[in-house]
Amino acid sequence: MKNLTDYVRGKVASAKSASIHLALVSSADKNKALYKMADSLLLNRDKIINANKKDIVCAVKNKLSAALIDRLTLTEPRIESMASGLKYVACLKDPVGDVIEHYKTSSGLRIKRVRVPIGVIAMIYESRPNVTADSVGLCIKSGNAIVLRGGSEAINSNKIIATILRKSANSAGLPEGCIQFIEDTDRKIVSELIRQRQFIDCIIPRGGEGLINYIRDNSSIPVISHGKGVCHTYVDMYADLKKAVAICLNAKVQRPGVCNAMETLLVHKNAAKKFLPAMMKEFEKERVEVRGCKLTKKILKNVKEASAADWYAEYLDLIVSVKIVSSCDDAIKHIQKYGSHHSDAIVTENKRNAEKFLKGVDSAAVYLNASTRFTDGGEFGMGAEIGISTQKFHARGPMGLKELTSYKFIVEGKGQIRR
């Protein structure tokens, strides 16, 4: 264990000292490095694909599912997309140095609250190797050093990508050590990492619930967690039913395997008779399995009955639970009880119910007359995202560059002393 501890400590300490210098690097120099990193990925695409092949062979041997193998696979277009992602981040506005507020106090001090990088961010993630390039891009642009710890299934791909990025960052003049990749896939590494409070300022876990909960429960370092998404759409009695059908269909089927897809559909009792059969027609076309409450089954006779567990379920699949509620308040209560505070929508043309829902539902994103599928850094105009936070602390919802910063107070005086 001693060697493992030393190994981890060496990596994170080096990231910490790099972070002090990285915080002062100009936007132009960071952008130049991002371009160089992107070009280097393209130049080395064959090497990357070869390394990736090793991971695929292992995955096949270990009988990973076809979906997982697909997520793991790197093709030329996927490498091109990683590279263009880095170039895109280079074009985004640098948040470091932004003045959040600026005022003069009664003692005549001029105070500026100015964005600064957080410091060192540790990414602990599973599966998709593009996360390596995406998170390096966002961290570097926001002035943060990064420590990467990917899953063992993508170790060869992650390693080559991280090496390429690190080398081109160094040759572009970024501080040595600002990109750290942990090559050892020993699971003990994670428990070492989450104890390095002196060197790591924030941990972002991306992966299964088990990994996230383990880190959150055992880390003494702040964690930004991406919890599950049990997203609801509530079709109000004042809904435009055509809009409602389109929105619900999109929220369920456009990409069912992601956290902002709808899992439960709530329908006002006065809208149900007209809305549900129309909705069902569309769901049937897309082979969506419907699990309904008792009242729903009176209208949609052939659907399965939902069990208590269904209201808590994040299916990530073509399944939806449907419940008839008797008021907007009931819908809010249901979401409060079973939801995951991710993304929830109301479809209505009634202003009062819209306001009540948008104010009363305590989720990272609340929608009026739109699909929950929009909860995404790109769609929200942040340019890119490092993830979607389901916590209220530090950052909530989609996290872009700004959310990867902290701030400091710069106070300018003319000799003021405190009385």
Whole-number minimum distance, CB 415 to a second copy, in Å? 4
In the complex, least distance from residue 395 CB atom to a second copy, rounded to whole angstroms: 9
Burial 95-125 (b: 16+ CB within 10 A, else e): bbeeeeeeeeeeeeeeeeebbbbbbbbbbbb
Kindly report the backbone phi and psi dihedral angles of residue 364, in degrees, each rounded to the nearest multiple of 5, phi listed first: -55, -40
Residue 238 CA, distance from chain mean position: 33
Residue 318 lies near a second copy (rule: CB under 8 A):
no
Of how many residues is the chain composed? 419
Least separation in angstroms between residue 85's CB and a second copy is 18
CA distance 49 to 76: 8
Q: Which stretch binds a second copy (CB under 8 A): 46-54, 81-89, 100-108, 288-296?
A: 100-108
Tell which one of 6, 20, 208, 305 touches a second copy (CB under 8 A): 20
**Contact predicate 296/265, CB 8 Å:** no
Q: Is 369 in the site for a second copy (CB under 8 A)?
A: yes
CA dist., res. 32 & res. 89, Å (int) = 11
First and final C-alpha spacing in the chain: 54
Distance, CA of 336 to CA of 345 (rounded, Å)? 13
CB of 246 to a second copy, least distance (A): 6
Verify binding: residue 329, a second copy, rule CB under 8 A.
no
Among the candidate windows 71-79, 82-90, 163-171, 360-368, which touches a second copy by CB under 8 A?
Answer: 360-368
CB of 110 to a second copy, least distance (A): 9
Dihedral class, residue 381 (left if φ above 0, else alpha if ψ from -120 to 50, else beta): left
Asked if 415 interacts with a second copy (CB under 8 A), we say yes
Q: Which amino acid makes up residue 81?
A: S
Strand partners, 204: 123
Residue 37 Cβ vs a second copy, minimum distance, rounded to whole Å? 25
Query: Residue from 394, 399, 400, 401 that binds a second copy (CB under 8 A)?
Result: 394
Per rule CB under 8 A, is residue 24 in the interface with a second copy?
Answer: yes
Instruction: Give min distance, CB of 40 to a second copy, in A.
Output: 30
Binding mask of the shown chain, residues 211 to 230, with x at each position contacting a second copy by CB under 8 A: -----xxx-x-x--------
Residue from 4, 58, 111, 237 in contact with a second copy (CB under 8 A): 111
Min. distance of Cβ 188 from a second copy in angstroms? Answer: 19
Of 84-92, 109-117, 184-192, 287-295, the window that binds a second copy (rule: CB under 8 A) is: 109-117
Query: CB of residue 196 vs a second copy: minimum separation in angstroms?
Result: 13
In 236-314, where do the E strands start and end?
Answer: 262-268, 289-292, 304-305
Q: Is residue 106 a contact point for a second copy (CB under 8 A)?
A: yes
Q: Which is nearer to a second copy, 52 or 340 (CB)?
A: 340
Distance between CA atoms of residues 239 and 80, nearest Å: 43
Binding segment toward a second copy, per CB under 8 A, in 34-42, 67-75, 113-121, 177-185: 113-121
Tell me which amino acid residue 367 is. Y
In three-state secondary structure terms, 371 is coil
Question: Which tokens sit at 297?
Answer: 């089954």
Determine which residue in the list 26, 105, 198, 307 makes contact with a second copy, applying CB under 8 A: 105
Does residue number 136 form part of the binding site for a second copy (CB under 8 A)? no
Q: Which two tokens stand for residue 348?
A: 């209505």
The tally of CA atoms less than 13 A away on the side-chain side of residue 326 is 1
Q: Does 381 interact with a second copy (rule: CB under 8 A)?
A: yes
Q: By the 8 A CB rule, do 49 and 79 touch? A: yes
Check residue 210 for interaction with a second copy (CB under 8 A): no
Question: Which of 15, 82, 165, 202 lies at the binding interface for a second copy (CB under 8 A)?
Answer: 202
Choosing from 45, 53, 370, 383, the residue that interacts with a second copy (CB under 8 A) is: 370
Single-letter residue type at 29? D
**CA 272/CA 324 separation, integer angstroms:** 7
Tell me the one-letter amino acid at 220.
S
Give the Cα separation of 93 and 144 in Å (integer): 15
According to the binding rule CB under 8 A, does residue 380 interact with a second copy?
yes
Among 134, 371, 386, 401, binds a second copy (CB under 8 A): 371
Residue ranges in contact with a second copy by CB under 8 A: 20, 23-24, 103, 105-107, 109, 111, 116, 118-119, 197, 201-202, 216-218, 220, 222, 240, 243, 246-247, 249-251, 254, 336, 358-360, 362-371, 373-375, 379-381, 391-394, 396-398, 406-418
